[in-house]
Structure 1
Amino acid sequence: MSTEITIKEAAMQLGISEQRVRTLCRQGDLTARKIGNTWVIDAKSLNRYGLKTAHHVAEDHPTYLANSAKPIALSFFSGAMGLDLGIEKAGFDVRLACEIDKFCRQTIALNKPDIALLTDINDYNADDIRSAAGLNKRDEIDLIVGGPPCQAFSTAGNRKGFNDERGNVFLKYLQLCLELRPKYFVIENVRGLLSCPMEHRPHEQRGKDFPDLSEDELKGGALNFIINRLEKSGYGYSFNLYNSANFGTPQIRERVIIVCSRDGKAPPFLMPTHSENAEHGLPKWNTLKKCISKIDKHDHLTFPEKRLKYYRLLKPGENWKNLPVELQKEAMGKSFYSGGGKTGFLRRLAWDKPSPTLVTHPAMPATDLAHPEEDRPLSIQEYKKIQEFPDEWDLAGPLIQQYKQVGNAVPVSLGQAVGALVLNLLNGIDVIQYKGFKYSRYKCTTDKEWRNEFIKLVNSHNSKTEQKELGFV
């Protein structure tokens, strides 16, 4: 039986005027019924509206439902829960989410009100985590998943590595995983993690007048540090750079996935479900048209008129390079003469291919994500479909924050592939491996290949240092 509250009570809870509450009732934004000349409002409806608009704060709380017979998973840096939805789809009970971003927390509270919700990972120890998840010290944790903030390792960022505050939460996550001792834990991150140093030295402090770079300052130093910690802990590991299109996502999105195993064995790679051209007998990649062509409601940002002038001349799959040369120069300005491919400028998506990687804002000049035919950026509904969120998944906050949440998410199918792999390992089921499968566009991205390349880099660096010390260079 639902609880109903008055207009006055609703106004006080939301911190808005009574007249505004009446308007929300008339518009259907709140579930309410009229009694005489006034309204009574369903309390659950009011709470959902408050969470969605951030009038209500998503407070920390323990799990409200802790009796599932499924394998137990805990989630950190949960975001809008794309990875977690995939884990859940594979058969796990996601018992806890930890997320500091205000709007992501609201989204989690809207859609998963019964799971434990925590804020800043730095505020909790292993006992706090167990308590919030409804676990005692003897309870086994089957899986922990997390994607520590990737900006510190992104090729688009300043590449500060673990000197960045966001890198420090990466270390906190690793520490918590090793203390909680789950059967498996997963680290998800951007491709930049493969080449980011543990310590970043500014370029103006390098050269013949400065000391040589240390091993931690070399490319890949951060990942080397992580691997060394894993090996000392007794956990086995494997990693690769995975293109989400190989797992059914209608999007080219590449992420490093490190799977760590308490038994000390190196886990196999994720099991692909698709391939670019039906290699290995798998279905071909899913296309954008199959994904978004039947959406009938669109909430979206807009392009400025000066950009729309050029978009009206472009067909599906084209970009600024398909304009006449004089218009290219006009549209691009000084950028026309700069280096790089610049394929994100004035970019219409192709119907017959997966989407490029979704970004947090689809209308930024260098990373436009324009609809294949309509003169607009992709809508938030299309973003959700491409990232494979359920239609009923509510996103909290203003539109720009909704784009950010979905743009930062792990595609659900990639999350499901992670869950399926770990579930097979938990149950002793053999995992199919396709010899020579092309998991991404890049080379030397598997753990063994990467380690060999890093050792070569270290040896080369040491050799140069020795020659310098002997006066040969």
Structure 2
Amino acid sequence: MKKSDLSEPRWGMIQQPFNGLTMIDLFCGAGVGASGFKLAGYKIVYAIDNQKYAVDTYNRNIGNHAVLGDIRKLKSEDVPWADIITGGFPCTPFSVAGKGNGVQDKNKGDLGYHFYRIIKEKQPKAFLMENVGGLLTKKHKKFFEELMKLFDEAGYHVTYQQKENGEPDTLNCWEYGVPQLRKRVIAVGIRKDLGKTFTFPSPIPEQSRTTIRDAIGDLPDPNGENNHKGYGIRKDEAPYVDKIPPGGNWRNLPVEDQIAFLGKAFYSGGGRTGFLRKVKFDNPAWTLTSFMNGKNNAQIVDNRDKYTSFPLSNHNDYYQGDFSPRYKSRNRQKQWDEPSFTIVSSARQLPLYPEPARYDIRKMDSYEIAPPRRFTVRECLRLQTVPDWFSFGEDVSLAHQYERCSGIPSLIAYRFGKQIAELLKEPA
């Protein structure tokens, strides 16, 4: 997909024209959520995060307006006004997978208050807050309720998911089109003087919800640069095969490479287009012979032709570390026709790839086959509904790439962003 065409039809995220609304992105991360808001038509005028690699990636993909900084030191007068402010303050203090120190967490426990402070002082028309479901557990629910009361006192009518008894509840992103069982707390505030109340978008019918196959089923195996290694490439072909386009052959090489590859055959003349010949997926194959590994009758399969919309970035490597006892304590694999488990920020805790199928990591010692690999970064991005034009630079470590795949899924940001924009543009 060309960078100039930001639409992501895989998830129905069609680039919307500018909706007339500006946006500020607090705790912006690498831009996973911002990708959705950008597609929804917002003009993002300011973003902030405290990690340089996140800010650099955000500016690489979203726009050159993210800054490196600590929100605790951020003065509201140094932030431009915007129609909407979004943010998912760090979730680790409230996650059931962490220590769960909540607001008592010395490093990150107070950041939710600073999100509120900026909202109160800047008074945008609307805000969107996202965080983990752990925020509603008995241990942290008091803090959530305090935040909601503070927003109310600051002049906002706040909407969040509720149970039948009125208690706050999480939103399962899978019900909104994300191919992932990801339960999150989302709260949307609309300034009271606007006289409007936000209504959540409707969940999609269950038969239309997406799965792992929908997200990553068309991706090639991560077997090295451009996915050639391990697919029967001859050693003498390997240095040149990536220079041949689908449907091409040795004649597409620079002359010096033609000579180096063909040797004396270069000077013998004739057609010989079977050397370094690549199959096109929309054409019939050439005649299959009994000696398919011959130098002059190549039929090389090039995944770049099959997966034309896939940028060959962030998909060759994946975390290959060991499995901790905690990791092996429960099932970590979903099948192709199911939604994925939650994509988390820690590579060690990522779900497993669907193949080999039905592999229960708890029974690892009883299997004779190796366990499935973890998802690649690109697969994590797909499962987060991040558009394929989004990528990490080579200077960002694999661990940091995985870390920044987390955040509000792009499709959720897109759907909620469109709903907020439609509400704000309605006559009072």
Across the two proteins, how many residue pairs are aligned to each other?
A: 292
Alpha-carbon distance, 1:163 to partner: 2.1
- Return closer, same or farther for 1:74/1:377 CA change in 2, 3 Å cut-off: same
**RMSD (Å), alpha carbons:** 2.7
Provide the residue aligned with 1:189 in structure 2. Answer: 131
Provide the residue aligned with 2:200 in structure 1. Answer: 270
**Equivalent residue letter for 1:242:** L
Distance 1:192 1:122 in 2: 23
Distance 2:184 2:110 in 1: 20
Alpha-carbon distance, 1:398 to partner: 1.2
- Return closer, same or farther for 1:112/1:231 CA change in 2, 3 Å cut-off: closer
User: Does 1:369 pair with 2:352?
Assistant: yes
Provide the residue aligned with 1:394 in structure 2. Answer: 391
Alpha-carbon distance, 1:273 to partner: 4.9
1:30-65 CA distances to partner (integer Å, 9 max, x unpaired)? xxxxxxxxxxxxxxxxxxxxxxxxxxxxxxxxxxxx
1:308-329 CA distances to partner (integer Å, 9 max, x unpaired)? xxxxxxxxxxxxxxxxxxxxxx
Structure 1 segment 51-130 matched on structure 2, within 5 A: 70-130=20-80
User: Does 1:291 pair with 2:233?
Assistant: no
**Equivalent residue letter for 1:411:** P
The answer (yes or no) to whether the contact 2:347–2:403 under 8 Å persists in 1 is no
The answer (yes or no) to whether the contact 2:19–2:41 under 8 Å persists in 1 is no
1:342-361 CA distances to partner (integer Å, 9 max, x unpaired)? 433xx333110111101224
Alpha-carbon distance, 1:196 to partner: 5.5
Alpha-carbon distance, 1:171 to partner: 0.5
Provide the residue aligned with 1:210 in structure 2. Answer: none
**Equivalent residue letter for 1:192:** G
TM-score (norm. length: structure 2): 0.63
Identify which of structures 1 and 2 has the higher relative contact order when contacts are C-alpha pairs closer than 8 Å and 6+ apart. 2
Secondary structure at 1:189 match in 2: strand
User: Does 1:411 pair with 2:416?
Assistant: no
Provide the residue aligned with 2:245 in structure 1. Answer: none
The answer (yes or no) to whether the contact 1:146–1:186 under 8 Å persists in 2 is yes
Which residue of 331, 343, 355 corresponds with 2:330? 343
Alpha-carbon distance, 1:272 to partner: 3.0
Provide the residue aligned with 1:355 in structure 2. Answer: 340
The answer (yes or no) to whether the contact 2:51–2:68 under 8 Å persists in 1 is no
TM-score (norm. length: structure 1): 0.57
Secondary structure at 2:117 match in 1: helix
> Percent identity between the aligned chains?
25
The answer (yes or no) to whether the contact 2:32–2:410 under 8 Å persists in 1 is yes
Distance 1:356 1:112 in 2: 27
- Return closer, same or farther for 1:69/1:368 CA change in 2, 3 Å cut-off: closer
User: Does 1:177 pair with 2:177?
Assistant: no
Provide the residue aligned with 2:309 in structure 1. Answer: none
Provide the residue aligned with 2:175 in structure 1. Answer: 246
1:75-107 CA distances to partner (integer Å, 9 max, x unpaired)? 000112122111122221111111112221121
The answer (yes or no) to whether the contact 1:153–1:161 under 8 Å persists in 2 is yes
Distance 1:89 1:76 in 2: 18
Structure 1, unmatched stretches of 5+, are: 1-67, 136-140, 198-218, 279-283, 308-331, 337-341, 431-473
**Equivalent residue letter for 1:404:** E
Q: Which has the higher helix share?
A: 1
